[in-house]
Amino acid sequence: MKLLSFLFLASMVAKSSQLTCQNEFRRPEYTDISVECGTSSITLAIQICPVVYTGYNESLLILNHMFDKPECKGTLDESATPPVVKFSFPLNMTNACGSNFLTTSTAGTGIFADFSNIQTVNVSGVVRSHDPTTGIVTYNAELKYYYSCAYPLEYLINNTQVDVSASSIAVKDNNGSFISTLSMELFSDVNYTTPLVIPRLGIELRTKVFVQVQAANLTDQYHVLMDRCYASISPYPTNSSFFNLFVSCSKDQMTTMHENGDSHHARFSFSAFRFLEQQNQTVSTYYLHCIIRLCEISTCSDFKDCNNRRKRDIRSSGVSDATTLSSAVPIVTRNEDSLASKEEAAAFSSDSDSSSRMGLGIAVGVLTLAVIVVLTAAAVFYRRLRYF
């Protein structure tokens, strides 16, 4: 039996020895695994040459004890340099190839300091070598490649890039982010089908603006929940005036929530307004910003419960110069007072021009009449002189 096990292992090694390992045919190291924390799946890549050196091949690397699931087995990629065996599985509790999901909650800090429950989900697991040797002892070292991906579930969306940091192996921890899936769009209709087009002179005050925050290519495990949306004069509202459209369950009277925490998109609308500090300008320009929570489907109802959610003190701005993302285009509204003043000035100018033209006409008429009278008198006087 021991001989059969040895021959089997030898055949596996011989089969894999055809790989181009060059300088990578060595003992395993902590850096032999890389982890890609995607928005809908996680991909592991383990260098195969050290695995072969230890006495195994790709078929003997097992993900989370999933022996009987073909979709959880590794695939050899010889085109990579060095060659690797890849594992890829969905980011979903029901079929993530045995990965562990752990959601933790902490009090918010920084830009999220006004929220008492900020969640992070950690997805972790291990790839182990399976030793086919039977008997009491073995001479093959056991390989273990641990991985984990941490995804924050709260984001401030704006319009700048978010960089994702990475770390280290055979224990390998990586940070993932769902923010790349999030986008904000403005519409002009309640069906969210017609994009809002803002003319050069801005939209009229009280115009309904429909806002949608959507997550594309996001795992079905989470829904989009808006915690706070506000407008600011600056696209990067570090030291800018701002106006809260809503914070948790507290909202402005002109704001209407249409859908929140029920799917991969959240929607609300508000009436166009202007900032008073821009009253001397022809138009008022401002930007939208939203703090977005991705909640697990089973917990979304808890966050939507107004009795359990911490209210925010609207007197503090709650913003910083952190990396962010916002409405793609600024919202521009007409300053009706400024426009009215310009129209009155134009009308006054028009009336003045008319009065000037009328006065000039009268003066020319009087002058012409005077010239005719003088010429007529001169002609009569000339005739009388001829007769004398």
pLDDT single digits (tens) 182-223:
888 999 999 999 999 888 888 888 899 999 999 888 888 899
Higher pLDDT, 61 or 238: 61
The CATH architecture to which 2-152+161-177 belongs is Sandwich (2.60)
N-terminal to C-terminal alpha carbon distance within the chain: 164
- The CATH class, in words, for 181-336 is mainly beta
Percent of the chain at pLDDT exceeding 70? 71
pLDDT tens-digit map of 235-249: 876 667 889 999 888
Would the CA dihedral through 99, 300, 272, 324 be positive or negative?
negative
Would the CA dihedral through 58, 62, 67, 72 be positive or negative?
negative
pLDDT tens-digit map of 327-386: 767 888 877 655 444 444 444 444 445 555 555 566 556 566 666 666 666 666 556 555
**What pLDDT score was predicted for residue 85?**
96
Helices (H), the chain: 2-16, 48-54, 300-304, 336-387
Residue 340 and residue 332: Cα distance in Å, rounded?
17
Question: Could you tell me where in the chain the CATH 2.60.40.3210 domains are found?
Answer: 2-152+161-177
- What is the band of 6 on the pLDDT scale with cuts at 50, 70, 90? very low
**What pLDDT score was predicted for residue 42?**
94
**What pLDDT score was predicted for residue 173?**
65
Over 60: is that where the pLDDT of 66 sits? yes
Residue 149 and residue 125: Cα distance in Å, rounded?
10
Contact 149, 177 (CB under 8 A): no
Pairing of strands 75-77, 154-157: unpaired
Question: Could you tell me where in the chain the CATH 2.60.40.4100 domains are found?
Answer: 181-336
Higher pLDDT, 238 or 279: 279
CA 353 to chain centroid, in Å, comes to 55
What is the chain's mean pLDDT, rounded? 77
**What pLDDT score was predicted for residue 2?**
42
pLDDT tens-digit map of 146-155: 999 999 888 8
pTM over 0.85: no
Would the CA dihedral through 358, 360, 363, 369 be positive or negative?
negative
Higher pLDDT, 169 or 20: 20
Strand-pair partners of 85: 46, 76
64-73, 135-144, 348-357, 376-385: least confident range: 348-357
